[in-house]
Amino acid sequence: MRPLLTALGLAAAWELLVWLTGVPSYILPPPSRIAAVLADRWDLLLDQALWTGAEMLMGFALGLVLGAALAIVFAASAGWRRWALPLVIASQAVPVIAVAPLLVLWLGYGMASKVVMAALVIFFPVVSSLYDGLRRTDEGWLELAHTMDAPPRAILLQIRLPAALPAFASGARIAAAVAPIGAVIGEWVGASAGLGYLMTQQLARGQTPLAFAALFVLCLLGIGLYAVTDRVLRRLVPWQSFQGD
């Protein structure tokens, strides 16, 4: 409830600022104008939101699955760790924005390039957080498993993996927060639909209020993905209590 009041306060200040300075609406539209556009063009915005939302969700799922799989492979195999881990770390030096035009070139203007883009952005926080978690298993638990004659596979799946879930959850939360970035960058570079595409189109035509409305819907999508992810993770890792809850 409180964040909503804060948001309302900020919107009021924004409205007042526009009213006092008399900035034209194609530079900075007042919230009331954006709200009117939202109400007026909701069918268009909904269509584009569904498109971008699908890209985000698929990219999120792909990035999570690939990232988690690679982290587990790295934790289980010293060979993979030695040969491929430095490469994964180095890959983060490549600016994602620079890759976007290539992805569009290879995969086209459709959804695929955006899904891959989002997955690329998400991949690294997931690998690094889960791999880190898998390496930091409590020594005492490993010792206990050792005295119980547990095979390495059981130690990985029944002790190290569940023990790493809180770390994985942190990575997945970051992933949920950055998923929209990947999808929207892909749309900016070249797309035929989506909220990012709508924004670039409308800004070029001076239809700033509609671009702002698209941005607003994009924010809602991002918040929604984060909130759902957070809720699912809390259910998945119930033994982890959070301070300040």
DSSP assignment string, 197-229: HHHHHHHHTT-HHHHHHHHHHHHHHHHHHHHHH
Query: Minimum distance from CB of 13 to another protein (Å)?
Result: 44
Select from 142-150, 174-182, 206-214, 227-235 the region that touches another protein (CB under 8 A). 142-150
Residue 154 to residue 208: CA distance in whole angstroms = 57
CB atoms within 10 A of CB 239: 7
Q: Are 168 and 126 in contact (CB under 8 A)?
A: yes
Q: How far is the CB of 111 from another protein (least distance, A)?
A: 37
The total of other beta-carbon atoms located within 10 Å of residue 132's CB is: 16
By CB under 8 A, residue 146 contacts another protein = yes
Verify binding: residue 144, another protein, rule CB under 8 A. Answer: yes
The contacts of residue 142 (CB under 8 Å, 6+ apart) are: 155, 159, 160
Answer for which of 109, 141, 188, 216 binds another protein (CB under 8 A) is 141
151 lies in the site for another protein, by CB under 8 A: yes
CA 159: distance to chain centroid?
Answer: 28
Tell the smallest beta-carbon distance from residue 187 to another protein (Å): 40
- Burial (CB count <10 Å: 0-12, 13-18, 19+), residue 191: buried
Nearer to another protein, 88 or 155 (CB): 155
Q: Which of residues 79-98 bind another protein (CB under 8 A)?
A: none
Location of structure tokens 């799989």: 69
* For another protein, the closer CB: 62 or 156: 156
Least distance in Å: CB of 14 to another protein?
A: 45
| Site pattern 218..237 for another protein (x: CB under 8 A) | -------------------x
Return the residues of window 160-189 that contact another protein according to CB under 8 A.
Answer: 162-163, 165
**Rounded least distance, CB 155 to another protein, Å:** 7
Window contacting another protein (CB under 8 A); options: 46-54, 75-83, 113-121, 155-163: 155-163
Helix axes 111-135, 42-76, angle to 10 degrees: 40
- Of the candidates 110, 112, 56, 3, the one whose C-alpha atom is nearest the C-alpha of residue 225 is 56
For residue 239, the minimal CB distance to another protein (Å) is: 4
Nearest CA among 37, 38, 39, 32 for reference residue 16: 32
Interacting residue with another protein among 155, 177, 203, 215 (CB under 8 A): 155
Binding residue (CB under 8 A) for another protein from 80, 82, 143, 206: 143
CA distance 231 to 17: 37
Residues of this chain that interact with another protein (CB under 8 A) are: 138, 140-141, 143-151, 154-155, 158-159, 162-163, 165, 237-241
